[in-house]
Structure 1
Amino acid sequence: MAFSYDPFVSAEEVERLGCEVTSLNELLKKSDVVSLHARLSPETEGMFGARQFSLMKESAYFINTARGELVRYDDLYAAL
């Protein structure tokens, strides 16, 4: 099952695409692969930090296909 968190897309659209809508915290806890696809804005800058990485499975992969400024890299290094 693919999980999705996107505050800008309706649940109906996400489900139509074959994903299950969930909260960001639940997505991080459940996922084997977390792929980040977000635009950089004042609200998203640094959105992935120590708390988000601590929720992820130890074996999970984190892929940032978006802007580097979305990730707090010192927190990522500490998580690794």
Structure 2
Amino acid sequence: SGIDGTYPAGLAVATVTNVDRNPAFQFAKVTAIPVAGTDQQRFVKVLTQEELKDYPRPDVKPEDGKPVRERAVSKRREIR
């Protein structure tokens, strides 16, 4: 989807096979199958026609000045 900036928006990376929503948890558990043969390649290069820009998501406001991806990594470290 391109939301976190890992992949460009519109690039298909996986097919969702199951979504498990449990009201006890904040997020749903999503199971997906990679579209590309990830078991056959070590590297991938994504070529785009236009320059990728880091557009802010309208529904996410910076909490601490860090990009969304950095905040997510920090929160995972805090949980462990």
Sort the TM-score into its range (normalised by shorter chain).
Answer: under 0.3
Q: TM-score, normalised by structure 2?
A: 0.25
The structure whose Rg is larger is: 2
Q: Which has the higher helix share?
A: 1
RCO higher in structure (CA 8 A, sep ≥6): 1
